[in-house]
Amino acid sequence: MSNLTAFLAQNAIKVENIKYIASKRFVNEDGKPIEWEIASITSDEDELLRKTCTKRVPVPGKRNMYVPETDFNAYVTKLAVKCTIYPNLNDKEVQDSYNVMGAEQLLKIMLTPGEYADYANKVQEVNGFNIPLEDAVEEAKN
């Protein structure tokens, strides 16, 4: 029988927050880009985010039949906001400086489209998404 103690919560390796330069346009006093802090979320939190971005859509030609449809762009934005520890996207002063209300709007206006796409990819990577297939296959072999 195998040793199951490795699966106990206290023995699991914790997912560390990572620092990431989302934009070179935000600099400190020394002119160096400021690192953003990204944290991973739990599967339960992820499921809740997906549910908020999913709606029931009627099946054409099938009365009273629906299929779930997830707005992937909205989900990625909510995921990025939820995982962003620093800067605080819910800070009223920062939101007011950009004339927006809400963390999702703030994130999208703070970053250029390219920066936003890169940041969204990094957030997904921190949460275990975007693992290249070759890496997953190699890891499964070991």
In this prediction, residue 142 carries a pLDDT of: 45
Q: With contact defined as beta carbons under 8 Å apart, do 53 and 70 qualify?
A: yes
Burial of 136 (0-12, 13-18, 19+ CB in 10 A): exposed
Any idea where the domains of the chain sit in the sequence? 14-40+72-127
> What is the CATH topology of the domain spanning 14-40+72-127?
rbstp2171 (3.30.2220)
Mean pLDDT, rounded, for 19-43: 97
Q: pTM higher than 0.85 for the full model? A: no
In this prediction, residue 134 carries a pLDDT of: 56
The answer to whether the bond into 87 is cis (omega within 30° of 0) is yes
Q: With contact defined as beta carbons under 8 Å apart, do 45 and 82 qualify?
A: yes
Query: DSSP secondary-structure letter at 11?
Result: G
- Number of neighbouring beta carbons within 10 Å of residue 100: 16
